[in-house]
Amino acid sequence: MRNVVGTPERGWLPQAFAVVALVTALRLIALVFNKAELFVDETQYWFWGQNFDFGYYSKPPLIGWLIRAVTDLAGSSNPFWVRMPGSVLHGITALVLGLTAARLFDARTAFWTALTYVTLPFVALGSLLISTDTVMAPFFAGAILFFVKTCQTRGAGSAVLAGLCTGAGFMAKYAAIYLIPGALLAALFLRDFRPGWRNAVLMLVAFGLMIAPNVIWNLTHDLTTVEHTMDNAGWVRTGAHLNWSSLGTFFASQFGVFGPVAMVALLWGYLRGGTSARAGLAFLSVPALAVVLVQALLDRAYANWAVGTYFAGTILAVSVLGPRMRRISLAINLIPCILLPLLTVLAPWPVIDGKPLLQRYLGRAELSHAALAIGHETGLPVVSENRDILADLFYQNRNGDVPVYAVPPKGRPGSYYEQMFPMPAGLGQVVLVDRDLPEGCSPSETRDLPRGGYWTRYDVKAWTVNAECLYAH
């Protein structure tokens, strides 16, 4: 391993900082003119932050806390402020990965690591939409940096910081746990990646202390997030079956997530072996990809589920690529970097077959405002059992006085709204906003709602019904 005494090369940092800062600034400017409405997950994360807790229905709490802090400081919950942390966090991640590359390789690799990461396709998307992957990213990168530094210097302080960063990443998204088997593999097979027993204990203690609040929250809330994670895994509930189509689709999607040249370089880095530094990065990178590939084979997997692969993976891919291929990779990745924010600024254009390309990010606010206006006009609560509708209703009602509730679930809650904001007993009439009218409910009034953007393909209506029929439902 290079720089075994822990003295990284630093000549790259001013140039990398300038480039990353420029890219981040341009993304923030584009975000000001972004016409894509908050997606259902984004409004849910915003709403979590309005109700401080150590855990939430489907994810750990850090994203909700972050959005709450930013919007409180800004004095606004407009989409720009909800999404603003994304590009900043990815910019920080790029520089942290560069610091790790400088420790393991050289200044040129460090510069290209920062430049490559900040232009990756999943980073371009994550700078437009706030997600748990984005909040996890700088902590995941920080954990890798301090783990490497601990192995080089055997410093206790670096070990504690490695554990704290891993724990903070876990508090953003549970996928940060992939760091632990990666570090174990690296330590098992490579002398240069052994932090020492004392430091290993310090890392685990720091990690445990950081995640303890969320663990306790889960234990006192019926393991809510664990149950949801098992739901997502699919085969845990229904049994495993080999789904080769799903595996192929997921694997192919990773060339879009990470970029085609970078992905080929990463796979070659896994196979090539070589220096201790490359082997260590391969061990730190591969657990997430391996686990999600198995998940895709047994059931299904979303394209972003293996993002934990690409932090150490970026450094490994850049170290494998020669100067010419680094430039080709950058040129290809710049296409989504430019195209994605441009599409959000130009929305609803382009329109294909009569539908906006970004249709799923449009039309939600219009429907919510219309539904809330009916609730305000009638003085009745607005209720729904549709998570997409509820997420935007709560967000659009942030400055209003219309009571909003979820239809009570029959069994285990299926969303944060059913868990924390079910319709209370004893209500009379309510305005039900949904795609379907439950059997047994006879509306006293039916109103049409706007069907633009995402809702073009659905006929969502507002029915005035007696709450009693929804309790029975």
pLDDT of residue 30: 97
Distance CA 367, CA 264 (A): 44
Give the mean pLDDT of the chain.
94
Residues 6+ apart with CB under 8 A from 203: 147, 150, 159, 160, 162, 163, 166, 195
Q: What is the pLDDT of residues 125-156, one digit of tens each?
A: 999 999 999 999 999 999 999 999 999 999 99
Percent of the chain with pLDDT over 70: 96
Beta bridge partners of 406: 384, 422
Distance CA 385, CA 206 (A): 40
pLDDT of residue 10: 67
Distance CA 240, CA 228 (A): 17
Distance CA 218, CA 213 (A): 9
Q: What is the pLDDT of residues 53-110, one digit of tens each?
A: 999 999 999 999 999 999 999 999 999 999 999 999 999 999 999 999 999 999 999 9
The two three-digit tokens of residue 270, written as one number? 């896994």
Check pLDDT > 80 for residue 162: yes
Check pLDDT > 50 for residue 401: yes
pLDDT of residue 9: 62
* Torsion sign across C-alpha atoms 86, 87, 92, 94: positive
Nearest alpha-carbon partner for 427 in 374, 473, 381, 472: 381
Distance CA 151, CA 6 (A): 9
Distances (CA, A) of 99 to 193, 213, 311, 399: 17, 30, 12, 44
SS (H, E, C) the chain: CCCCCCCCCCCCHHHHHHHHHHHHHHHHHHHHCCCCCCCHHHHHHHHHHCCCCCCCCCCCCHHHHHHHHHHHHHCCCCHHHHHCHHHHHHHHHHHHHHHHHHHHCCHHHHHHHHHHHHCCHHHHHHCCCCCHHHHHHHHHHHHHHHHHHHHHHCCHHHHHHHHHHHHHHHHHCHHHHHHHHHHHHHHHHCHHHCCCHHHHHHHHHHHHHHHHHHHHHHHCCCCHHHHHHHHHHCHHHHCCCCCHHHHHHHHHHHHHHHCHHHHHHHHHHHHHCCCHHHHHHHHHHHHHHHHHHHHHHHCCCCHHHHHHHHHHHHHHHHHHCCHHHHHHHHHHHHHHHHHHHHHHHHCCCCEECCEECCHHHCCHHHHHHHHHHHHHHHCCCEEECCHHHHHHHHHHCCCCCCCEEECCCCCCCCCHHHHHCECCCCCCEEEEEECCCCCCCCCCEEEECCCCHHHHHCCCEEEEEEHHHHHHC
pLDDT of residue 3: 43
Check pLDDT > 90 for residue 467: yes
Q: What is the pLDDT of residues 167-220, one digit of tens each?
A: 999 999 999 999 999 999 999 999 999 999 999 999 999 999 999 999 999 999
Average pLDDT of 425-454?
95
Check pLDDT > 70 for residue 21: yes
Q: What is the pLDDT of residues 224-275, one digit of tens each?
A: 887 777 766 666 656 678 999 999 999 999 999 999 999 999 999 999 877 8
pLDDT band at 357 (very low <50, low <70, confident <90, very high): very high
pLDDT band at 8 (very low <50, low <70, confident <90, very high): low
* Between 460 and 231, the higher pLDDT residue: 460
Phi first, then psi: give them for residue 118, nearest 5 degrees: -70, -15
Check pLDDT > 50 for residue 6: no
Check pLDDT > 50 for residue 5: no
Average pLDDT of 404-419?
92
